[in-house]
Amino acid sequence: MKIIIPRIIISKLFEHSLLEDPNECCGLLLGNDEKVIEIRSLKNVHDKPMTRYEIDSKEIDKAQKYCDNNNMDILGVYHSHTHSQAYPSQTDIGKAREIKDFFDPYYILISLIEKTRPIIRGYKIDLEGVTEIIVEHDGEAYISTTMNS
Ligand SMILES: [Zn+2]
């Protein structure tokens, strides 16, 4: 099992993570089949955003409508860990199992333990456990604008 995330989108995930740091960022990955086409960065509405994340369910409904109108699906949920590795916490696993009956996304985690080298990993989470999936990059390499000046 794998998910394809174009490099330009990976750079956006890192940007969003760094922007919210030290809080966890969160959002949705939209696309077709296993390929991510765009991200929807959302507000982390949890009252302890440094160590937990929560997406407003109204935002998921809105994203679903947007996808229906644009021939896409919600492929995944992403969030960052600002103080731990890119592995799902017990809380993350519990939450993923709770919503699995009506929503079964890929989970993408970004770790900022090393700020200059963020790590990204993907998972499927079900009652049997946590399965790591391959995150494939494709498309144009992201080139920082400062490199060109
Ligand atoms: Zn987490």
Residue 146 clears pLDDT 60, i.e. is over it: no
State the distance from the centre of ligand 1 to the C-alpha of 111, rounded, in angstroms.
9
State the distance from the centre of ligand 1 to the C-alpha of 132, rounded, in angstroms.
15
Residue 149: pLDDT band with limits 50, 70, 90: very low
Q: Which chain residues have CB less than 5 Å from ligand 1, an ion?
A: 89, 92
State the CATH number of the domain containing residue 77.
3.40.140.10
Rounded distance, CA 86 to CA 64, Å? Answer: 26
pTM of the model: 0.90
**Structure letter (DSSP) for residue 25:** P
- Answer whether residue 17 is part of any domain: yes
pLDDT at 145: 47
- Answer whether residue 144 is part of any domain: no
- Answer whether residue 93 is part of any domain: yes
Domains of the chain: total: 1
State the distance from the centre of ligand 1 to the C-alpha of 66, rounded, in angstroms.
26
Residue 147 clears pLDDT 50, i.e. is over it: no
State the distance from the centre of ligand 1 to the C-alpha of 146, rounded, in angstroms.
31
Q: Which residues contact 13 (CB under 8 A, 6 or more apart)?
A: 5, 39, 78, 108, 110, 120
What would the pLDDT profile of 2-60 be if each residue is shown by its tens digit? Answer: 999 999 999 999 999 999 999 999 999 999 999 999 999 999 999 999 999 999 999 99
- Answer whether residue 31 is part of any domain: yes
